[in-house]
Chains A and B, each alone.
Chain A
């Protein structure tokens, strides 16, 4: 497993009679974008939650950088470098964009139990945070409260936060959702460069983006991976065409 950053083995989760995750195994290797696609209700977000630690699976394991993190909580996994963005933007709405990123910088530096010293005057927090905003093109909006940012800007901010964490793998849950064609294009280009920093597990509905970015694709239907492979393999897989793409076309 030396060449896998993130290794998910046989995850299972049921809600009542519903098998939301039914024996899923996925690998994420260095430098790759691994896209996870599937129709609505296939259990993609539930799976992301289990990987990030906010939902406990019934069985199965998650290894990250060779360590079994199955029993760790969200915060502990994030501290180890598992950065995520949310399907529906999840930010501290009253904080400015800058303070949202500073929180990640602060966490990366490891001390949230400092009771004195105003954060806004702390260059070791503001400067790296500002740098991340610049990278994601949000520098001009640094002082705007997250609640007042546009939809696309919030997406960018989520990514800036994940970057600021120094993540060693990214979990992005539909980062393109609700973005215009221009925004999608820019973000696609950005993610393309990002993969060299850390591999990305990408949940996305925008098939143009998926086919442009993904090194490998896994298809999730009713909680099961029905196919996994390169872009071409997936395009030509009859089962995928029947279960998923057929429905789309």
Chain B
């Protein structure tokens, strides 16, 4: 029963990871290092974005090199809504007048809807291709949106858009770093639960079968295209939600959230933690933010060492952090 042991070990690691991330801000308060709360929030939000990508990439085998598009779209929804609400200018007047919102539930919903709205045409075209073509066409769409954001003057273009005060959430003082962290952590927990449910559902079975063998999926009468398109849209919605939170964390959104580096980083988070693992994105985000933070403080050439570490992970730690500690991926 090696598999059984590995499974329980992975569960144990997942629990430890979840507890550690939750504990970090409280440790920060005890140590009087409030910045670590920000760091923990960043970890939670990046993990959330990667959980979204993990649905497409981990479960569906759809290597999207353009998920920054949805991350940025979510961010811009938060920024644009907030700026209209702040200036009390209507965003549009027909069919009804709408002046943005500074309430997170409204913004989150909009971020997810807009992401899905954009993901469906992108997915519908991209999913006609596969392999490297899919990687590159998703990148191309993200680049289109990136250049559009840079040259669109209405919302700051390259300069980006500031969110003057962090958007609110009913009953929560979001300006308090700890409260905002807990909010993000809660969203992450819900997303992880959703990922787990999907992974074990009928939809998840079809999605994963499609990754393993597209021909087989079609031969049992399930069209891979529709399954994948829905997965791509769900994936985009979660990453878009993360983008909205990221904008609120930084109180700022700019086209760099849409850049191909960002897409690359999201992929890095997943592989670093362990592809298609429930907590892979969490492990990846925690590690990546720690590396970035610790190395940036040590040397000006931190990117050089970050590169070396990433390379080491790919070459010698297949299956990422969780794979390294928990053993081979489970079957089933």
Contacts and interface: CB of A to CB of B under 8 A. Distances in A.
Interface string A36-69: 0000000000000000101000000000000000
B309 interface: no
Given A90-B213, A96-B331, A99-B332, A78 B202 contact: no
Contacts of A122: 202
Contact of B202 (A86, A92, A117): A117
Contacts of B224: 75
Interface residues of A, number: 41
Residue in B204, B209, B215 with the greatest tally of chain A CB atoms within 10 Å: B209
Interface string A83-94: 110100011111
A102 interface: yes
B216 A120 contact: no
B135 interface: no
B212 A114 contact: no
Interface stretch (A104-112, A133-141, A203-211): A104-112
A78 B219 contact: yes
Contacts of A99: 205, 332
A92 B198 contact: no
Interface in B171-226: 194, 197-198, 200-206, 208-209, 212-213, 215-224
Given A92-B213, A106-B202, A78 B221 contact: yes
A119 interface: yes
Contacts, number: 115
B215 A86 contact: yes
B287 interface: no
Nearest to B197: A116
A194 B168 CA distance: 65
Which 6 A-B pairs give the minimum distances between C-beta atoms? A78-B221, A79-B221, A75-B223, A74-B218, A118-B200, A92-B212
A93 B220 contact: no
Residue in B194, B205, B223 with the greatest tally of chain A CB atoms within 10 Å: B205
Contacts of B206: 103, 106, 112
Given A99-B205, A103-B222, A115-B201, 17 more contacts: A73-B218, A75-B218, A76-B223, A90-B219, A92-B216, A95-B205, A100-B216, A103-B209, A107-B221, A112-B206, A113-B203, A114-B201, A114-B203, A115-B194, A117-B202, A119-B202, A122-B202
Contacts of B329: 94
A165 interface: yes
A128 to B, nearest CB: 13
A30 interface: no
A103 B205 CA distance: 7
Given A52-B219, A145-B331, A94 B202 contact: no
Contacts of B136: none
A24 B316 CA distance: 54
Interface in B222-271: 222-224, 227, 230
6 contacts: A86-B215, A94-B212, A95-B212, A95-B331, A99-B205, A113-B202
A95 B208 contact: yes
Contacts of B331: 94-96, 145
A114 B332 CA distance: 18
Nearest to A91: B216
A54 B215 contact: yes
Contact of A108 (B200, B221, B332): B221
Contacts of A93: 212-213
A113 B230 contact: yes
A108 B206 CA distance: 13
Contacts of B203: 112-115
Contact of B222 (A90, A91, A95, A107): A107
Interface in A118-132: 118-120, 122, 125
A35 B34 CA distance: 76
Contact of A107 (B197, B215, B220, B230): B220
Contacts of A108: 221
A103 to B, nearest CB: 5
Contacts of B217: 75, 92, 103
Interface in B44-59: none
A198 interface: no
A165 B213 contact: no
A94 B275 CA distance: 14
A93 B212 CA distance: 6
A221 interface: no
A111 B202 contact: yes
A161 B217 CA distance: 11
